[in-house]
């Protein structure tokens, strides 16, 4: 009887030890939680350069500085200041000068709202990729030409390619619609532009 009791105690002891071992045993197959790939949504500032085609006038070099504030992954707002030149050379050649000088500075001020449509990647080959966003833009502003200020509506889009965590390359196409009376009567002109820009986060 004593022998059986000892055997029973021994079995219970072994079972208890095994159960305790299971409690403290680490799960070897525990899933490793990785840090989320969260994008840096800090403000951006940048410059761009391109060509603007003034309806009924000339094409001109365009330079601008902008400040960009993202509300989230998709929506952002942007303010910009820029300059270009307008020329009435062709009109002067036929005796119809329209501007105070043959070439005058055009300064513009704009507030834009943008929306990222298609986040993706640009493949460079050899397994290298850069993050990108295709976006749309719309906004309103003014254009000062020859001491006159005109309302301008903006519609366009572009693609931004993130070169690294702090900088990006932007390629944009826009229609800068200006309500102008330079030709003698009010007319909403379509002034297309194409430009390249680079920005930095801060």
What pLDDT does residue 17 have? 52
**Beta bridge partner(s), residue 60:** 52
Q: Which residues neighbour 113 within 8 Å (Cβ) at sequence distance 6 or greater?
A: 75, 76, 77, 78, 137, 138, 139
The answer to whether residue 21 scores a pLDDT higher than 90 is no
Which H/E stretch holds residue 14? helix 2-24
Phi-psi region at 108: left, alpha or beta (left = phi > 0; alpha = psi -120 to 50): beta
The answer to whether residue 111 scores a pLDDT higher than 70 is yes
Give the whole-angstrom CA distance, residue 11 versus residue 18: 11
- The torsion angles phi and psi of 151, rounded to 5 degrees, stand at -75, 140
Report the SS3 class of residue 198: strand
Return the minimum-mean-pLDDT range out of 84-88, 134-138, 183-187, 198-202. Answer: 183-187
CATH number for the segment(s) 44-201? 2.40.160.20
Is the CB of residue 120 less than 8 Å from the CB of residue 90? no
Confidence of residue 183 (pLDDT cuts 50, 70, 90): confident
Residue found by looking up tokens 């702090």 in the block = 166
Is the pTM for the entire model greater than 0.85? no
Helices first, then strands: H and E counts in the chain: 2, 8
Is the CB of residue 142 less than 8 Å from the CB of residue 152? yes
What pLDDT does residue 138 have? 98
Nearest CA among 112, 55, 57, 115 for reference residue 82:
112
Q: Mean pLDDT over residues 124-129, rounded?
A: 78
Question: Using alpha carbons only, what angle is made at residue 193 by residues 129 and 152, rounded to the nearest 5 degrees?
Answer: 120
């Amino acid at each position: 009887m004593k022998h059986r009791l000892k055997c029973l105690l021994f079995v219970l002891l072994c079972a208890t030890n095994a159960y305790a071992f299971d409690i403290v045993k680490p799960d070897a197959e525990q899933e490793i939680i990785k840090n989320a790939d969260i994008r840096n949504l800090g403000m951006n500032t940048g410059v761009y350069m391109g060509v603007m085609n003034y309806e009924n006038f000339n094409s001109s070099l365009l330079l601008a500085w902008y400040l960009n504030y993202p509300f989230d992954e998709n929506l952002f707002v942007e303010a910009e200041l820029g300059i270009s030149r307008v020329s009435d050379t062709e009109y002067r050649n036929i005796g119809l000068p329209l501007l105070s000088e043959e070439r005058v500075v055009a300064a513009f001020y704009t507030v834009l709202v943008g929306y990222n449509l298609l986040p993706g990647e640009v493949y460079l080959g050899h397994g290298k990729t850069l993050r990108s966003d295709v976006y749309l833009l719309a906004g309103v502003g003014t254009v000062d030409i020859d001491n006159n200020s005109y309302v301008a509506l903006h519609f366009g889009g572009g693609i931004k390619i993130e070169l690294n965590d702090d900088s990006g390359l932007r390629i944009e196409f826009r229609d800068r619609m200006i309500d102008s009376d330079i030709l003698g009567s009010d007319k909403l002109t379509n002034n297309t532009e194409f430009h390249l820009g680079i920005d930095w986060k801060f």
